[in-house]
């Protein structure tokens, strides 16, 4: 029997779907970054399939005026913010971010409904 994966969206019900394991990992990483940091998620050209995902912590002062902003509220950790530029959002809207502690294939994993092709590394895609 398949179990349903609990996912979270931004406080407004939009944004990237984040699974419970990824929420916990991001909340831990955000606490290590300190206050004033946000998570920037996006895409860039490159990778095995043509485009690759990017994730990086930035200072809140680096948020651009046209960035989309989403607030996430983990159950047992402080809330955090995720930002994405409008161009990247076209490629990753509806994407699910998961986290695995497996020895092989562990780390953050992206499931993108907009991708027509993905590579084995799981960090690049084509549309």
Q: Scanning the structure block, which residue is given the tokens 């916990």?
A: 24
User: Residue 64 falls within a domain, yes or no?
Assistant: yes
Paired sense of beta strands 51-59 and 68-72, if any: unpaired
DSSP 27-46: HHHHHHH-TTEEEEEEEEE-
**69-122 pLDDT, tens digit each:** 998 888 787 888 999 999 998 888 888 999 988 877 678 888 888 777 666 555
What value does the CA radius of gyration of the chain take, rounded to a whole number of Å?
14
Residue 78 lies in a domain: yes
Number of domains in the chain: 1
Q: Determine, yes or no, domain membership for 53.
A: yes
Tokens of residue 59, six digits: 């200072």
Residue 55 domain flag: yes
- Other Cβ atoms less than 10 A from the Cβ of 34: the count is 9
Q: Which residues span the domain enclosing 105?
A: 7-126
pLDDT attached to residue 2: 42
Burial class (CB in 10 A: 0-12, 13-18, 19+), 78: exposed
Give residue-wise pLDDT tens across range 38-80: 999 998 887 666 788 899 999 999 999 999 999 888 878 788 8
Is residue 1, in this structure, part of any structural domain at all?
Answer: no
Predicted pLDDT of residue 35: 84
Asked if residue 13 has pLDDT above 70, the reply is no
Backbone angles phi, psi at 46, to 5 degrees: 130, -175
Residue-level pLDDT at 3: 44
Q: Has residue 40 been placed in a domain?
A: yes
What pTM does this model have? 0.80
2 lies in some domain: no
- 14 vs 54: CA distance, rounded Å: 19
CATH number of the structural domain spanning residue 34:
2.60.300.12
Residue 15 and residue 58 in contact, taking contact as beta carbons nearer than 8 Å = no
pLDDT at 1: 41
């Amino acid at each position: 029997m398949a179990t349903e994966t609990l996912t979270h969206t931004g406080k407004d019900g939009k944004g990237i779907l984040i699974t419970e394991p990824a929420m916990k990992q991001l909340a831990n990483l955000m606490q290590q970054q300190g206050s004033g940091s946000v998570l920037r998620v996006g895409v860039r050209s490159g990778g095995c399939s043509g485009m690759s995902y990017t994730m990086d912590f930035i200072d809140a002062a680096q948020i651009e005026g046209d960035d989309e902003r989403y607030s996430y509220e983990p159950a047992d950790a402080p809330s955090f913010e995720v930002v994405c530029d409008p161009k990247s959002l076209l490629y990753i809207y509806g994407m699910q971010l998961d986290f695995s502690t497996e020895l092989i294939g562990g780390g953050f994993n992206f499931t993108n409904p907009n991708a027509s092709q993905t590579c084995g590394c799981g960090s690049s895609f084509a549309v």
